[in-house]
């Protein structure tokens, strides 16, 4: 699925990161969502603000393949990482032992 997603979007913004991901794949947000949901069967499983203009999203499918996307206020979204074996933990906050005292 991951290779198909990269080839299916077929758009790159050029080198933005060094290391395993040489290119960041970008597309208009509506096109990115359509590809992720309809073509690859993923759903958004997590999201959070990275900055006032950036929303970080994790999209995952039932097989555990996942895609990390940054959605920009400009209407552009970029895939910044992909992987496998995504697991939902169900935990909303870490459990801490009581503070002695």
* 48, 55 Cβ separation under 8 angstroms: yes
Dump pLDDT digits (tens) for 45-81.
999 999 999 999 999 999 999 999 999 999 999 999 9
φ/ψ of 69, rounded to 5, equals -125, 140
Instruction: Give the count of beta carbons closer than 10 Å to the beta carbon of residue 44.
Output: 16
Give this prediction's pTM: 0.69
Name the pLDDT band for 42 (thresholds 50, 70, 90): very high
Q: What is the pLDDT of residue 77?
A: 97
- Set out the domains of the chain in order of their start, with CATH numbers: 2-83 (3.30.160)
């Amino acid at each position: 699925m991951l290779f198909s997603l990269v080839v299916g979007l077929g758009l790159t913004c050029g080198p933005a990161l060094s290391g395993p991901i040489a290119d960041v794949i970008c597309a208009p947000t509506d096109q990115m969502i359509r590809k992720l949901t309809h073509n690859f069967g993923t759903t958004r499983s997590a999201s959070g603000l990275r900055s006032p203009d950036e929303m970080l999203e994790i999209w995952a499918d039932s097989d555990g393949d996942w895609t990390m996307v940054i959605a920009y206020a400009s209407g552009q979204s970029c895939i910044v990482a992909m992987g496998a074996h995504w697991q939902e933990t169900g935990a909303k906050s870490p459990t801490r032992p009581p503070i002695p005292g």
